[in-house]
Amino acid sequence: MEKFNFKKNLGQNFIFDKNLLRAIARAGDVEKSDVVLEIGAGAGTLTEVLAEMSSKVISFEIDESLRLTLESLRNKYKNIEFHFQDFMAADIDSLNLSSARVIANIPYYITTPIVFKLIDHIKKFKSILILVQKEVAERFASNCGGKEYGITSVILQSIFHVSIPRIVKKECFTPSPKVDSALVKMIPHNKYKISDFEKFKSFIHLCFSMRRKTLINNLKNNYDKEKIISALNENSYPLTVRPEQISVENFIKIFDSLN
């Protein structure tokens, strides 16, 4: 890794501290029998720890200039499979994953697209642990009434238990980014039956289209006003309720009443 030219546009902030890397793997509950999917291998430091702790690591890296470093790691650990390609273009079905764990220090510039790509294949994963910018983590895990509670919080928490097991200070990365990061852990739950998840996602976008407006105002061009009022009454909300005051569970109930 001497004289490596870090590419900011690829979100290249690497971690070399073995203790921290092991703590990340532990926070992801990785066990010897697990298959782990990693997005963004970088210099392979997390990949190596994961290879030691699991049965197989499937790791994606877009930057060809890391190929030699990663291939020499591959020669040491036969249970690593590298894919030198853009994860966003990867065919997840062809990986034949089942009950896999995602553990990754992901490139920040595509955090949300990566998460939504993983959600499209949620049945293949038993847990997802990703290192992201702290404020993004807070948005993911924020509860109803919280300042950060919004579209992503509701969509993610409708299918996952979301928690933040650890904050990672910016000084732990090379090069050091401008802001701190946090681990976000997402474990799929089956608490709610959502009839049409794509439609639910669009509905939540619509509910928050104007955050400071009432839910009725955000929905009234797309749904019958009387129906919205009765859905709010059924869930004991005043007609002035704003989207950030509605819990995940109640968003699902209101969605069911209106659709």
State the residues that interact with ligand SAM by CB under 6 A.
10-15, 39-43, 45-46, 60-63, 86-88, 105, 107, 110
- Burial of residue 58 (CB within 10 Å: 0-12, 13-18, 19+) is buried
Please give the structure tokens belonging to residue 135. Answer: 């404020």
CB nearer to ligand SAM: pick between 3 and 193? 3
Q: Which is nearer to ligand SAM, 61 or 138 (CB)?
A: 61
Contacting residues for 12 by C-beta, under 8 A, at least 6 apart: 6, 42, 63, 107
Q: How far apart (Å, rounded) are the C-alpha atoms in residues 176 and 173? A: 5
160/214 Cα distance (integer angstroms): 27
Both tokens of residue 68?
């030699």
Nearer to ligand SAM, 36 or 159 (CB): 36
| DSSP code for 36 | E
Amino acid at the residue 228: I
What's the min distance (Å) between Cβ of 163 and ligand SAM?
20
Q: Least Å distance between CB 24 and ligand SAM?
A: 8
Q: Cβ closer to ligand SAM: 110 or 207? A: 110
Closest CB 10 distance from ligand SAM, rounded Å: 4
- How many whole angstroms separate alpha carbon 209 and alpha carbon 217? 10
- Closer CB to ligand SAM, 83 or 213, in the complex: 83
CB nearer to ligand SAM: give 50 or 159: 50
Calculate the CA 163 to chain-centre distance. 11
Among 12, 1, 46, smallest CA distance to 173 is for 12
Strand stretches in 152-244, DSSP E: 160-168, 181-188
Q: Which residue has the tokens 């900011």?
A: 8
Question: Closest distance between ligand SAM and the C-beta of residue 17, in Å?
Answer: 10
Please, what sign has the CA dihedral across residues 229, 234, 240, 243? negative
- At its nearest, how many Å lie between ligand SAM and the CB of residue 14? 3
Least separation in angstroms between residue 240's CB and ligand SAM is 43
Measured N-to-C along each axis, helices 18-27 and 45-53 cross at an angle, to the nearest 10 degrees, of 50
Residue among 15 and 204 whose Cβ is closer to ligand SAM: 15
Least gap, CB of 53 to ligand SAM (angstroms)? 15
